[in-house]
C-alpha cells in the first residue's frame, strides 16, 4: 500500500469509526480547520467546528441507531500533498428527516485530502446517495450496446 492510500485509509477508518459511535467531534476531527462539507441534501458546513455542530443533532436523531460501512475505497495521489478519495458506503438503521425508517442506503463520499504542515486531513467532502444498483447496471448495459 502506497503512502497516499495508507493516509486515505486512515482518514476513512476515522470517519467510519466516529460515525458508528455517533460522535460528531470525532467525525469532524479528520477535517482541516477550514474544510468544506456538503451532505446528501446539498447542505453545507464550513470549518471543523461547523462540521461538528452540523453532525451533533443528527447523531442523536436520524442517525442515532445507524451504522456506516466503507464498501470500497479508491484513492489517487494527485500531487504529493493532495489525494482524491472515493468512498462507496452503505448505511443501515437510519431514519429519514421525517422520522420514517430509512431502508439500507448506498452512497459515495468524494474527499479531497491534503497534507498541511505534515498532517493529512480532509479539505473538501461531498456526500451523495446513489440509486439502487439495478439502475447503474442498466446504464452500463446501455453503454455496452452503444459501444
Which CATH class name applies to 3-146? alpha beta
From CA 110, how far away is CA 38, in angstroms rounded?
10
97 by Cβ neighbours in 10 Å (0-12 / 13-18 / 19+) ranks as: exposed
State how far the alpha carbon of 55 is from the alpha carbons of 18, 29, 33, 135, in Å. 11, 12, 16, 30
| Tens digit of each residue's pLDDT (9 = 90 or more) over 41-56 | 999 999 999 999 999 9
| Tens digit of each residue's pLDDT (9 = 90 or more) over 98-115 | 999 999 999 999 999 999
**Domain coordinates of the chain in residue numbers?**
3-146
| Tens digit of each residue's pLDDT (9 = 90 or more) over 114-133 | 999 999 999 999 999 998 88
In total, the chain counts a number of residues equal to: 147
Task: Kindly report the number of other CB atoms within 10 A of residue 9's CB atom.
Answer: 16
Amino acid at each position: 500500500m502506497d503512502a497516499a492510500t495508507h493516509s486515505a485509509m486512515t482518514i476513512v477508518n476515522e470517519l467510519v469509526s466516529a460515525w458508528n459511535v455517533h460522535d460528531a467531534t470525532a467525525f469532524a476531527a479528520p477535517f482541516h480547520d477550514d474544510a468544506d462539507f456538503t451532505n446528501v441534501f446539498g447542505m453545507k458546513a464550513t470549518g471543523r467546528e461547523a462540521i461538528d455542530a452540523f453532525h451533533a443533532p443528527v447523531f442523536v436523531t436520524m442517525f442515532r441507531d445507524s451504522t456506516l460501512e466503507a464498501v470500497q475505497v479508491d484513492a489517487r495521489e494527485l500531487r504529493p500533498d493532495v489525494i482524491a478519495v472515493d468512498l462507496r458506503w452503505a448505511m443501515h438503521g437510519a431514519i429519514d428527516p421525517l422520522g420514517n425508517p430509512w431502508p439500507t442506503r448506498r452512497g459515495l463520499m468524494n474527499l479531497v485530502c491534503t497534507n498541511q504542515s505534515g498532517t493529512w486531513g480532509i479539505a473538501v467532502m461531498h456526500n451523495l446517495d446513489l440509486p439502487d444498483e439495478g439502475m447503474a447496471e442498466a446504464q452500463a448495459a446501455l453503454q455496452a450496446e452503444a459501444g
